Structure 1
């Protein structure tokens, strides 16, 4: 079998399982006891990730400095933050969620027109990783490339609901602008020039993709996960969550923290590539997704990544005798291939 062309076994849509009326989930979705939501690592109800108002980046210097310090503190300590007043229209955010929810409510035969393969993952999917017999997550998704333009294939974009293509285009352009602002703020907070991270990613020649996740109702949510614990392999993730239902959890030290969504906010986290570039000053942190017995859940993950053929290694300015380089340079293509083979499995990035 060529793992770049074929899934190792027939694909089952989780949404179909959920809507079939089953009262117990198939064994393929049952996690080992140590990884189950209510048995493994304890959860904390007292902690919450920082919420940062980005309007300060447009204001006078003291306010701007204060905002950048808050961003720096969040990605050093948590790897995650929520941002408000970020410049993306709340109406656009709402419309993006609505259109994607409507897509997943289309008849299955319509969605199957866009069924994906492991070659690019682009299209409608129901599993990550190509390991035969693997324990699966309780969720379906739709994956799309937006940049570079050479990877963008309009034929892979859904045509229903009628407005969805235009919404994806507009949403993508606005979130790219947000990512560029955050990259500058994080660069300055590292003590390098404001364009450093953007240059390391390839300047304007970055990789941008998005994955809309659909987590159907689950009759036994205590036995499975919508998305297994993992750190994001790419550069930075901007996540729009379903503000009706909580589900995302972040590992903080030795506990899981459930993120409480703020209205009209994005959840932002740094990925493995920024951890490498910062020589582990900024942290790419494990997170996972819970599912719900009574509610479905939608989230839109927007991935801002380095150009795939560039070597990514610690910034020279951040390597000192007291803090030597913790990682060997590797292209994002090579790193992504490693992740693609195994699927989401904990914290993949290891220092040398």
Structure 2
């Protein structure tokens, strides 16, 4: 997901996002107030709260061994929920905790230090916010730092807080582990979509990776704000490391918002738009959002896995049946899809309409 894309020897930028104040600093200076620009309509969470154990669980170790029952569970999770909890993934608890500690340490830095890594207006990497396309749009109650991590040559170390002890080492180790897990998930999705294990890799190229680290401050009126607005991810899929102590992720299921209670040492995986398109709508990229509370801040780490910029994505031939499953999406170069996505604020699944065929 490069920021600059070649075009006949010239380069042009995409992903413009306007600079915004740090909400962490706003809260430090005045905990009681909620500025008007952060007040949003927030559909309430379902009163029939679904326990996190009803969110599908996938055992990674069984999946990696080719267990047919686990593969079937993965199919149903992606089809019916678009989300699942991944357990027994083989990432050591120490690696997860070092990553959380590195994220916490960054957001504990003085704002003057964090601002050294601030993203430019036409840049997606760095500290700040993305998807801010208007001076009038409502803002989310969170700060973030986003870094491209794979391939290594796409890293922009000017946005990495390299003077923060242990940050680079934690990021690199965590990134390697997420890549390992992601490649196994990609291989299983390939088989489920009627391809060989390396089928999606041939279609998408090697999976690229970006890591978004989020900080959600406390809020005196959490009912008035959203930590992150409802959206689906423009990825192949996303791996989320949650804060063990604070529930903040909500997913939209059967038209209701349901909380996903953190499960220690697990990863939450969600289907991205690219997989929805490639599966011809069989697997769903689901709207999700982040919420806040008045008692404890929350962090999360989202690892985005996505195709090569220049690869074309579209429904796989194995997922099209003219009678029962006609083509629902057109083909599009991935970079064009992402450019369209970054031109909008987070707005549910509005951007997926861009590639839908409206017959």
* TM-score normalised by length of structure 2: 0.90
Q: Give the structure 2 partner of residue 45 of structure 1.
A: 49
- Give yes or no for the alignment of 1:108 onto 2:114: no
Q: Give the structure 2 partner of residue 262 of structure 1.
A: 263
| Alignment check: 8 A CA contact 1:37 1:223 kept | no
1:228 positional shift? 0.4
Between the aligned partners of 2:93 and 2:48, the Cα distance in structure 1 is 30
Bigger shift: residues 112-121 or 213-222: 112-121
1:343–1:188 Cα change, 3 Å: same
Q: Deviations over 1:14-69 (max 9, x none)?
A: 0001111331200000013xxx143xx7453135311122121344x5xx111111
Q: Deviations over 1:218-257 (max 9, x none)?
A: 1110011000000101111000010100000000011111
Between the aligned partners of 1:3 and 1:22, the Cα distance in structure 2 is 37
1:113–1:277 Cα change, 3 Å: same
1:160 positional shift? 4.1
| Alignment check: 8 A CA contact 1:31 1:225 kept | yes
1:5–1:184 Cα change, 3 Å: closer
How do residues 51-200 of structure 1 correspond to structure 2 at under 5 angstroms?
Answer: 51-59=57-65, 64-200=67-203
SS in 2 for 1:349: helix
| Alignment check: 8 A CA contact 2:312 2:334 kept | yes
- Which sections of structure 1, spanning at least 5 residues, go unmatched? none
Q: Give the structure 2 partner of residue 24 of structure 1.
A: 33
SS in 2 for 1:28: helix
Between the aligned partners of 2:352 and 2:130, the Cα distance in structure 1 is 22
Q: Deviations over 1:251-301 (max 9, x none)?
A: 001111100111100000110000011111111000000111111000000
1:210–1:5 Cα change, 3 Å: closer
Between the aligned partners of 2:50 and 2:208, the Cα distance in structure 1 is 36
Between the aligned partners of 1:157 and 1:186, the Cα distance in structure 2 is 32
Between the aligned partners of 1:160 and 1:213, the Cα distance in structure 2 is 20
SS in 2 for 1:209: strand
Between the aligned partners of 2:16 and 2:201, the Cα distance in structure 1 is 35
1:129–1:83 Cα change, 3 Å: same
| Alignment check: 8 A CA contact 1:231 1:285 kept | yes
- Give yes or no for the alignment of 1:225 onto 2:226: yes
- Which sections of structure 2, spanning at least 5 residues, go unmatched? 1-11
Q: Give the structure 2 partner of residue 336 of structure 1.
A: 338
| Alignment check: 8 A CA contact 2:77 2:83 kept | yes
Between the aligned partners of 1:187 and 1:213, the Cα distance in structure 2 is 30
Q: Give the structure 1 partner of residue 301 of structure 2.
A: 300
